[in-house]
Amino acid sequence: MKVSYDGTNYFGMQRQSDKPTIQQSLEDILNKLFCANIHINYAGRTDRGVHALSQVVDFEALKLFDLEVLKRALNALLPADIRVLKAYLVDDNFHSRYSCIFRDYVYIINTADVCMPFLKNYVWHVPKLNISRLKEIKDLFVGKKDFAVFSKTSTGRATNRFVKYIRIKQKGFIVAIFIRSNAFLRGMVRLIVGTMVSYAKGKTTRDEIIQSLNGKMSLHLLKAPACGLYFKRAIY
């Protein structure tokens, strides 16, 4: 299924024992509909407060629903901040995570002097951000690199990732940073965006970023807040 959600009130995608998550919300309703213990897989693990425009999840069930009926039933029972956009039947070997070739994220920044209060959960407010400086530095992160410094990943885990591109678009006071990679480490997008903003503000140098990517130094990184981050889509 393709699923969209507002992550403001959730502690991320992955189920936790004592906190509300997207996985828990979906599985609880699926369990009721299918009268079975349903477990979902998902294309990308989003953290607390992160949103999704089109997350992909899959599950196995013995009971067959008409797909439109299933979508309507889920949307009638799910909280209003989680919506199923589309449901599909797929091959047995499909897996939302392992079949995925690329994942797209978009990060939204509001550069206005004053940010409207109803946007506070959906953008990072960075007044008068120098967009030209952002564009100067974006391609340093493109290619196959070790992003150990730019993640919260545990020591000893593989940290090489292939970033296909970073693109920046601006309309008025809104700046969108699009990042495509084969996979992302935990916190990777927010640390990359935060570092780009730090450079744009003159608080980090180009050489420091290069040395960090080469593993020669560890920056004190600025981490962009979760509210501006969106899982855009998964590509198969």
Q: Which residues are catalytic?
A: 47
Cα separation, 147 vs 233, whole angstroms: 21
Residues near 102 by beta carbon (within 8 Å), at least 6 away in sequence: 164, 180, 181, 182, 234, 235
Tokens of 92: 């047995």
Cα separation, 79 vs 76, whole angstroms: 8
Cα separation, 105 vs 187, whole angstroms: 12
Residue 155, CB-side half-sphere exposure with 13 Å CA sphere:
0
* Phi and psi, residue 35, nearest 5°: 50, 45
* Phi and psi, residue 104, nearest 5°: -115, 130
Helix (H, G, I), strand (E, B) or coil at 119: helix
CB count in 10 Å sphere of residue 101: 10
